[in-house]
Amino acid sequence: MEFDIIVIATGFDSLTGIFTNIDIKNARGECLKEHWKREDTSAYLGFGTAGFPNLWYMYGPQGPTPLGNAVTVIEIQGEWLVELIVRMRQQDVQSVDAKTEGEVNWRRDMIEAREATLLPNADSWYQGP
The answer to the question of residue 50 being in a domain is yes
Give the pTM.
0.74
The answer to the question of residue 9 being in a domain is no
Among 45-49, 83-87, 117-121, the range scoring the smallest mean pLDDT is 117-121
pLDDT tens for 17-76 read: 667 778 889 999 999 888 888 767 788 888 889 999 999 888 778 877 766 787 888 898
The answer to the question of residue 38 being in a domain is yes
Residue 11 has pLDDT above 60, yes or no: no
The answer to the question of residue 81 being in a domain is yes
The answer to the question of residue 91 being in a domain is yes
**What total of structural domains would you count in the chain?**
1
Query: For residue 57, what are the domain limits?
Result: 17-115
The answer to the question of residue 1 being in a domain is no
The answer to the question of residue 102 being in a domain is yes
The answer to the question of residue 120 being in a domain is no
* Beta-sheet strands, E only, within the chain: none
